[in-house]
Structure 1
């Protein structure tokens, strides 16, 4: 029997359709502005991702086409951000975002072109099963992510390196993943606290390791633990209860990799929206 991990009840707007339409409109407006203001990519990506997560609060299984559209748009913004960042200065990139082809100037290395943003963009490409964008993201140099000036634990760069190595089938995956694991020691952290590491940041590494180890039982045990720890962290108090934790994005993405590899997924949870996990909407429209 699958393990069920429920999400706390959500008390949303009395007019969910109207609420989502207003949020979608603001997000599209921000996306429209990117053609004139690519320096707003960081805020626009955050807005698009929050909009996708909000859709899953009202639509926990991602059963509605509008929810899929929101997740695709977030994925498209994240990938466009890095396409713009890696384009030569003075050039433009052609990007499909929210059903429209857009011409966006190169933005260069900005503070938001960092490893954390890269991970979010990559997970979204995995969830949306966009292999071309996954490959594009995996060709982003790690040196460029470091150049953003953003401060991260060193393990993050090894984690990005391991994911790029896995997807591009480069040698050295084992060593790079070991380096990422070594950097998660809670006693040596400089920028994140112990609880965040143990409950949110570390579990996806362990889950990914179980995935590449091809042990379905161990994978599902790790998936249960990852989702339970995610829930425990993001529901610990009212301050943490936000859209950030309403979908377990990294565990969901790795579960998508496992699902696509034919592995059984024995966890049911609103934190892993069913129709995103089983790619029900794939091919619904051009992305």
Structure 2
């Protein structure tokens, strides 16, 4: 039986469609300017994420090509961000916004950390861009470490587990167990507890069911992840109006892995855009 998790109202008077259009226009200019200087590429990536969330407010099924374009642009910028911070020499060729571009290399940036890596990786998974997934997974864990106190240690175990899974390295089970143990609330003390329980841990739990090929347990865990997402983003009026709650990035990405792995997904929700989950736009244009 299919379970439907209804998205919260996202009230607050925001004109998300107008915001998405405005960001799309400014973003196109910002992307063009990256070929002259990549100094603001992290800001451009963040703006692309806001534009994607805005698109998903007005198009929760991702049925419009504009939503797919916003998804691809965010994915391309996330991957480019890490590509240009992986080397200090020359330029890096990156396809962004339907054009192959030569972007000056930057070398390491503090913002190219494990949190940003997870976002970039989830976007590559959702876009089914295996080449970019591989490139991201080849980045060393030490390069992703933020200054002490920025993240709980679990996030590094989590990145390590995902890289190990995708590159088929040994030790996945031990690394996933280490992730689960390190993300336990008494252990993880930097992330706010409501964020940890509502947003950060559910993708780990979903991935655990996925790698165990536990299709029977996956769907209830997915439903729980979306309920927790909803509970987090309706905690108060400010959160409820925040477009960042328009869809559940981590759960969506793990659900994409499961869907592509042959799992039947029996959960429907505006937090889980149908045409992104079911790769309905794949092949529409080069990514």
Asked if these proteins are the same fold (TM beyond 0.5), I'd say: yes
Residue equivalent to 2:98: 99
CA drift of 1:196 comes to 1.2
Contact 1:111–1:150 at 8 Å: present in 2 too?
no
1:140, CA displacement in angstroms?
Answer: 0.7
Q: Hey, what's the Cα distance between the residues in 2 that align with 1:174 and 1:185?
A: 17
Correspondence for 1:268: 268
**Aligned counterpart, 1:123:** 122
1:166-177 correspondence to structure 2 within 5 Å: 166-177=165-176
Preserved contact between residue 111 and residue 149 of structure 1 (Cα < 8 Å): no
- How does 1:178-189 map onto structure 2 within 5 Å? 178-189=177-188
Q: Distance in 2 between matches of 1:115 and 1:14?
A: 31
Q: Does the residue aligned with 1:188 lie in a helix, a strand or coil?
A: coil
Deviation at 1:10, TM superposition (A): 4.5
User: Over residues 18-77 of structure 1, what are the superposed CA-to-partner deviations in whole Å (9 max), with x where a residue is unaligned?
Assistant: 543222101222222222231212111110011011111111100011110010000000
Distance 1:233 1:13, change over 3 A: closer
In structure 2, distance between residues paired with 1:148 and 1:73: 29
Q: Residues of 2 paired with 1:17 and 1:78: CA distance?
A: 23
2:244 maps to 1:234:
no
Partner of 1:212: 211
Distance apart, 1:236 and its partner CA: 1.1
Structure 1: tracts of 5 or more residues without a match:
none
| Residue 85 (structure 1) aligned with residue 79 (structure 2) | no
Does 2:130 correspond to 1:156? no
Q: Which aligned pairs between 1:138-149 and structure 2 lie closer than 5 A?
A: 138-146=137-145
Deviation at 1:191, TM superposition (A): 1.4
SS at match of 2:23: helix
- State the aligned residue count: 286
Structure scoring higher RCO (CA < 8 A, sep ≥ 6) equals 2
Partner of residue 70, structure 1: 70
SS for the counterpart of 1:268 is strand
Distance 1:154 1:16 in 2: 36
Task: Flag structure 2 segments of 5+ consecutive residues without an equivalent.
Answer: none
TM-score, normalised via structure 1 length: 0.95
What root-mean-square deviation, in Å, do the aligned CA atoms of Structure 1 and Structure 2 show?
Answer: 1.7
Distance 1:40 1:14 in 2: 26
Given the alignment of the two structures, is residue 30 of structure 1 paired with residue 47 of structure 2, yes or no? no
Specify the alignment match of 1:44 in structure 2.
44
Deviation at 1:148, TM superposition (A): 6.6
CA contact (8 A) 1:73 1:97 kept: yes
Q: Cα distance 1:72–1:262, how it changes in 2: closer, same or farther (>3 A)?
A: same
Inter-partner Cα distance in structure 1 for 2:260 and 2:41 = 31
How far 1:6 moved relative to its partner? 0.7
Judge conservation of contact 1:4–1:267 (CA < 8 Å) in 2: yes
Does the 8 Å contact 1:50/1:244 carry over to 2? yes
